[in-house]
Amino acid sequence: MSNAAWFKRPDMLVGISALVVSFVAVVVSLYSASIDRDYARASVWPQLMVARSYAPQVGKSQLDYLVINNGTGPAIVKYVQVGYDDTYYPTWRALFDSMGLDDVGFVQSQISRMVIPADKQITVLSFTNPKTIEQLSGFDNGLDFTLCYCSIYEECWQVNRQAKQRSVDACIEPSGVLFTQ
């Protein structure tokens, strides 16, 4: 029998080599899985934007407020707040009444607690009456929309009309008035 050190024996060299190769394979596999998870999240990442569209035409002007999903995945809207001068309202009618706008004709779409698919645009509010559009022009700068939405992986963001978007841990409904329409 040979008196060689245990780590110099051929069978031990083969065993240690197999152990090192196995360890490297596990590390590479874990790194690959991490990259796959990141890719899966990125492939369904929503990105909402609140926008205003104004098309002035003689006799056919139109003012729209839009929510656009420019992301690659669906946006799950958890809550919406609509306000004017730091006061929030549950409905469009309550908002317009507080502004002293009695005879406002508008078309609305549901936005609260919706799923907005990728590359989709929702016209949340639309005005075609020139008198109403003129009345609203003075209020436009104080009007605010805040939406909190999540991806299908429960990664959440909050965005407002000024296009300020920030990541949040979760869409926890704030105390105060939430928009119901």
Residue 2's pLDDT band (boundaries 50, 70, 90)?
low
Instruction: Provide the CATH number for the domain around residue 164.
Output: 2.60.40
Share of the chain above pLDDT 90, in %: 43
Q: Are residues 36 and 54 in the same domain?
A: no
Is 1 within the bounds of a domain? no
| Interval 44-55 mean pLDDT | 91
Q: Is 179 part of a structural domain of the chain?
A: no
Both tokens of 33, joined, read 């899985």
- Across the chain, mean pLDDT equals 88
Does the residue 180 lie in any domain?
no
Q: Work out the average pLDDT over 160-178.
A: 88
- State whether 55 and 121 are in the same domain: yes
Q: Is residue 28 located within the same domain as residue 104?
A: no
Please report the pLDDT score of residue 120 as a whole number.
95
Distance from C-alpha of 156 to C-alpha of 153, rounded to nearest angstrom: 9
Radius of gyration of the chain (CA): 28
Residue 1 — pLDDT band, cuts 50, 70, 90? Answer: low
What distance lies between CA 83 and its chain's CA centroid?
19
Distance in angstroms (rounded) separating the CA atoms of residues 114 and 137: 28
Report residue 138's pLDDT band, with 50, 70 and 90 as the boundaries: confident
What does pTM read for this prediction? 0.80
